[in-house]
Amino acid sequence: MTGKTEPMSGHHSARSSRRRVRRTLANVLLLAAFTQPVSADATIASGIGARDCMAFNAALEKESELAIDAYVAWSQGFISAFNWANVKQLSVRIDAAGVLNWLGQYCAANPRVRVFQAVQEIIRLNAR
């Protein structure tokens, strides 16, 4: 042993490059989520967040804890993605109870709006 450490053969730079690509992709997807109009046959979100507020309202009426938890968890993931990927380094801090309260009020007033649009509004109003 000579006491010298051999440089890692590009392992660190490859990992750094993958991280940059993932961050860029996340930024592009997030930007697309905030700029594209929503049409009846095409959504910019997938999963339970692509459902309309009527579906969320139905989950509340049925007191379906599993469904309500799914909406809140999806919303918190969407907010977390915003916090991680936004270019202005703004952040939104809202707990599960706050998300549930917001969705309940917003969706009651806007039943035809999609859940992800309600979450976008949370972000718009709370990003600092």
* Whether 74 contacts 48, CB under 8 Å: yes
Q: What is the pTM of this model?
A: 0.65
pLDDT of 120 above 90: yes
CB atoms within 10 A of CB 50: 16
The Cα 60–Cα 67 span in angstroms is 8
Average pLDDT, the chain: 78
Residue 85 binned pLDDT confidence (cut-offs 50, 70, 90) = confident
The closest of 28, 107, 37, 41 to 72, measured between CA atoms, is 107
pLDDT of 107 above 90: yes
For residue 31, what are its two tokens? 């930007």
| pLDDT for 60 | 97
Per residue in 17-55, pLDDT (tens digit) is 555 555 554 544 444 444 444 444 345 788 999 999 999
